[in-house]
Amino acid sequence: MDKISFEKKIGKQNFKEKANINILINEHEDKKSVLLTELGILTYKKIREGCILDKDFDEISDKILECDKIIYKNIKELEKINNSNKVIECECGNKLNNNDKFCSVCGKNIEELKCEETIICGTCNLEIDIDSNYCVCCGKKLR
């Protein structure tokens, strides 16, 4: 085997070895990213529950809470749009369009049928269903 063939063979072996090492590195970097994300979620949950009290987390926790509020408000807006064509049944049994303001049979104010009792979360200040045990936005225990 001449010197050039030998160098090509060594070069191919080195290339394969480096490629395998790079694959291993990438796999473990991906795994580490997933683990760090899980750690972050768990830590944030512990902060919200009051198990971790550390001022170093306050700023980033507040930013996450703001994101949660925006996400929650936009989900509610989508629900409102999706329910705009929903048929409502009046107490008298008449089927009503969501855009109606009064029942054409009994005259009942339809807004009263649409109203759900709510409370304000003490943590994120968002309006949530009164039956909730936890805030659907920030996860804070309510009862």
Question: Could you tell me which residues are beta bridge partners of residue 141?
Answer: 134
> What is residue 126's predicted lDDT score, i.e. its pLDDT?
86
Query: What's the Cα-to-Cα distance from 119 to each of 58, 67, 86, 124, 134, rounded to whole Å?
Result: 25, 21, 25, 12, 11
Residue, of 22 and 7, whose pLDDT is higher: 22
Residue, of 60 and 7, whose pLDDT is higher: 60
The whole model's pTM is what?
0.59
**Each residue's pLDDT tens digit, 39-94:** 999 998 898 888 999 999 999 988 998 999 999 999 989 988 887 777 778 888 88
